[in-house]
């Protein structure tokens, strides 16, 4: 059987070479983010999402096939219908699996609405120096570069294949932040201090390097225990912050001393509680210190507390999570 013939290049392109359908799809994505409240019309992030072409950062990605495995969609597919699926998926408000290793997901492009909310809550201002932990495809670094300029953005990833592809994608899109291959748990001391640190991979503990490399008053936004922790840093030994309302599920950070806690056994816990996002967050935050039944009793006693009632404090060598108040009755040591 002969190989399928490659189709001629797309003809519906603008003078700058971008496919017209990509421009339309990007506009539809931004409109959806505005309608859903992830972006506001007067936000500089709306301009960034309008300007940065996501499809250049996902030249291919994987979707679940009907057979239960993965199929790859890519922009150079000889089948025109599959190329259309690729461009539509590139601008859908969903996370995209971009790198698999032995059937395991090791890198992805995050859901745009979650990215928009995280960038909003990061509270980046002009002139801020930003460190990103987890380069991924480079798309988030491009959005940051559009906001504060290439020279103010550093993105770090442990995997040299990921950083190399991120550099290529960023270059094609016209952005040139620092892309560093290294252990994200150690930050990037050569370009510190940072005013903002955004973490795009799940963590099991809070690396001290991020605090040590923060400027006074800096903000660290990191996914911990299926939540987003917004930690305000006073200095290397003092920081405090609360969790945001947004659930967050990311590929785990590799490197450092990260020990993500496995999902607990929920036998005996009512199904309605086991399915509740806030209860599962409490279980993850207190893993190893409260068994599910103790957590269930606390959760009910405290009127089903949501993520925003929890926080984390750092004081010298002590790091702990808490409910309502740092020095209140409910506190759990973190690694």
CATH classification at residue 108: 3.40.50.150
Determine the pLDDT at residue 259.
Answer: 52
How much is the pTM? 0.89
From 158, 107, 152, 161, select the one nearest 130 (Cα to Cα): 152
Domain of residue 228: give its range.
Answer: 20-260
**SS3 string of 232-298?**
EEEECCEEEEEEEEEECCCCECCCCCCCCCCCCCCCCCCHHHHCCHHHHHHHHHCCCCCCHHHHHHH
Q: Please check whether residues 123 and 268 belong to one and the same domain.
A: no
Mean of the per-residue pLDDT values of the chain:
89
pLDDT digits (tens, 9 = 90+) for 70-127: 788 999 999 999 999 999 999 999 999 888 777 666 778 899 999 999 999 999 999 9
From 298, 304, 296, select the one nearest 328 (Cα to Cα): 298
Q: Is residue 85 part of a domain?
A: yes
Phi, then psi, of 193 in degrees rounded to 5: -85, 160
From 108, 8, 114, select the one nearest 58 (Cα to Cα): 108
What's the distance, CA 26 to chain centroid?
20
Q: Please check whether residues 130 and 168 belong to one and the same domain.
A: yes
Determine the pLDDT at residue 218.
Answer: 98
Q: Is residue 73 part of a domain?
A: yes
Q: Is residue 151 part of a domain?
A: yes
Q: Please check whether residues 173 and 55 belong to one and the same domain.
A: yes
Q: Of 203, 229, 260, at which residue does a domain stop?
A: 260
Q: Please check whether residues 99 and 235 belong to one and the same domain.
A: yes
- Is 107 a catalytic site residue? yes
Q: Please check whether residues 233 and 326 belong to one and the same domain.
A: no
Q: Is residue 253 part of a domain?
A: yes
Q: Please check whether residues 43 and 55 belong to one and the same domain.
A: yes
Q: Is residue 15 part of a domain?
A: no
Determine the pLDDT at residue 66.
Answer: 75
Token code pair at residue 3: 């190989």
Q: Of 220, 242, 260, at which residue does a domain stop?
A: 260
Q: Please check whether residues 254 and 265 belong to one and the same domain.
A: no
Q: Over 70: is that where the pLDDT of 14 sits? A: no
Determine the pLDDT at residue 270.
Answer: 79
Q: How many domains does the chain have?
A: 2
Q: Over 90: is that where the pLDDT of 68 sits? A: no
Q: Is residue 252 part of a domain?
A: yes
Residue with tokens 């929890």: 310
> From CA 227, how far away is CA 202, in angstroms rounded?
9
Q: Please check whether residues 248 and 141 belong to one and the same domain.
A: yes
Q: Is residue 150 part of a domain?
A: yes
Q: Please check whether residues 225 and 235 belong to one and the same domain.
A: yes
Phi, then psi, of 155 in degrees rounded to 5: -120, 140
Q: Please check whether residues 193 and 98 belong to one and the same domain.
A: yes
Determine the pLDDT at residue 79.
Answer: 92
Q: Of 233, 260, 287, at which residue does a domain stop?
A: 260
Determine the pLDDT at residue 2.
Answer: 39
Q: Please check whether residues 250 and 272 belong to one and the same domain.
A: no
Q: Over 80: is that where the pLDDT of 147 sits? A: yes
Q: Is residue 14 part of a domain?
A: no
User: What is the average per-residue pLDDT within 306-324?
Assistant: 96
Q: Please check whether residues 39 and 187 belong to one and the same domain.
A: yes
Which entry of 38, 65, 107, 110 is annotated as an active-site residue?
Answer: 107
């Amino acid at each position: 059987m002969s190989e399928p013939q490659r189709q001629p290049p797309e003809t519906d392109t603008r003078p700058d070479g971008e496919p017209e359908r990509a421009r339309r799809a990007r506009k539809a994505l931004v409109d959806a983010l505005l309608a859903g409240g992830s972006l506001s019309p007067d936000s500089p992030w709306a301009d960034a999402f309008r300007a940065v072409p996501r499809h250049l950062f996902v030249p291919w990605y994987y979707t679940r096939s009907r057979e239960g495995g993965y199929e790859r969609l890519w922009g150079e597919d000889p089948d025109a219908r599959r190329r259309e699926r690729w461009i539509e998926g590139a601008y859908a408000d969903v996370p995209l699996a971009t790198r698999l290793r032995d059937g395991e997901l090791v890198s992805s492009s995050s859901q745009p609405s979650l990215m928009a909310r995280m960038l909003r809550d990061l509270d980046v201002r002009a002139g801020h120096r930003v460190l990103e932990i987890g380069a991924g495809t480079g798309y988030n670094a491009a959005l940051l570069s559009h906001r504060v300029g290439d020279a103010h953005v550093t993105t770090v990833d442990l995997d040299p294949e990921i950083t190399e592809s991120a550099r290529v994608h960023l270059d094609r899109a016209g952005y040139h932040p620092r892309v560093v291959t290294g252990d994200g748990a150690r930050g990037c001391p050569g370009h510190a201090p940072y005013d903002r640190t955004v973490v795009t991979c799940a963590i099991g503990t809070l690396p001290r390097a991020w605090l040590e490399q923060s400027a006074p008053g800096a903000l660290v936004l990191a996914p911990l225990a299926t939540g987003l922790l917004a930690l305000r840093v006073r200095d290397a030994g003092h920081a405090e912050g609360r969790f945001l309302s947004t659930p967050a599920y990311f590929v785990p950070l590799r490197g450092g001393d990260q020990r993500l806690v496995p999902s607990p056994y929920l036998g005996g816990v009512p199904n309605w509680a086991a399915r509740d996002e806030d209860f599962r967050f409490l279980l993850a935050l207190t893993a190893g210190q409260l068994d599910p039944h103790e957590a269930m009793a606390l959760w009910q006693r405290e009127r089903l507390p949501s993520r925003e009632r929890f926080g984390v404090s750092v004081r010298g060598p002590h790091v702990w999570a808490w409910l309502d108040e740092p020095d209140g009755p409910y506190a759990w040591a973190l690694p």
